[in-house]
Structure 1
Amino acid sequence: MKVASLVDQLEYNDSRPTIQVLMETETGKEIRIAFKEGHVMKEHKTPFPIVVEIFEGAIDFGVNGKIHHLKKGDLIALEGGVPHDLMATKTSTVRLSLNKLDSAKRVEDVVSKS
């Protein structure tokens, strides 16, 4: 059994989103991304399917040139290889579910280049 929290030890960076791996299981990884309003993750792709949950706040989630206005409680799933970008329209906490074969380092690299 593993236990994690989306709200405990939540930290925000002034200049870019903050990434924290909350848990890793046999099948996947759960990552928390903390955005301050205005933070951006530039367009990128993942090699594997992902699920994104807006736990708190609001995010503009761009997919193939279309913006999806996601708010607290919304989920979006993408197949691998789909270009997407994110912009926080409010201070937000996002849960990212990754495939076991994907890496948190890849997500950190996206943030560092945004």
Structure 2
Amino acid sequence: MEFNADTLEKVDKSRKKRDELRGKVLTLKDLVDYQNGTVASRMIVNTKAGSITLFSFDEDEGLSEHTAPFDAVVTILDGECEVWVQGVTYQMKEGDTIIFPAGIPHALSAVTRFKMSLTMIRENES
């Protein structure tokens, strides 16, 4: 990422939007809108310790198989999806949660439009 005045302004605006959420009761699925034909996201917490990002997936959208350096906790907020963890398939719906283990291949795909919360906690290397 190139850091210039525009980039710094975008980062500052994003941080201010996150700060506006603090100390308020939130309905997570209302904080990210569906967008036709794509995946949308909104980071609501971003610290050295970890992050929480909300995603919306249009029907037939998804994330291809990948790994992450830390456990990833995914909670479905709306709709239905299919996830794969090291070759095992799971059907998930609103209210369901799964933990993708660090370093293990996983992927997901929308069955219907769906929204999810992704929580990543970075390990302290002490």
**TM-score after normalising by structure 2:** 0.70
Q: How many residues align?
A: 101
Match in the other structure for 2:118: 96
Match in the other structure for 2:4: none
Match in the other structure for 1:87: 109
- Runs of 4+ aligned structure 1 residues displaced above 6 Å come to none
Retained in 1: the 8 A contact 2:82–2:89? yes
Q: Secondary structure at the match of 1:7?
A: helix
| Equivalent position amino acid for 1:62 in 2 | W
Q: Secondary structure at the match of 2:56?
A: strand
Note the alpha carbon deviations across 1:31-77, whole angstroms, 9 max, x for none. 00101111111001000111000011111001111110011100001
Determine which structure has greater relative contact order: mean sequence separation of CA pairs < 8 Å that are 6+ residues apart, divided by chain length.
Answer: 1
Shift of the alpha carbon at 1:9? 4.6
> Is residue 7 of structure 2 the alignment partner of residue 7 of structure 1?
no
Matches of 2:42 and 2:28, distance apart in 1? 10
Shift of the alpha carbon at 1:24? 2.6
Matches of 2:72 and 2:64, distance apart in 1? 16
Q: Secondary structure at the match of 2:29?
A: coil
Matches of 1:73 and 1:46, distance apart in 2? 23
Match in the other structure for 2:53: 31
Larger-gyration structure (1/2): 2
Higher helix share: 2
Query: Which consecutive unaligned segments of at least 5 residues does structure 2 have?
Result: 1-20
The root-mean-square deviation of aligned C-alpha atoms, in Å, is 2.1
Match in the other structure for 1:73: 95
**TM-score after normalising by structure 1:** 0.77
Q: Secondary structure at the match of 1:91?
A: strand
Shift of the alpha carbon at 1:100? 4.1
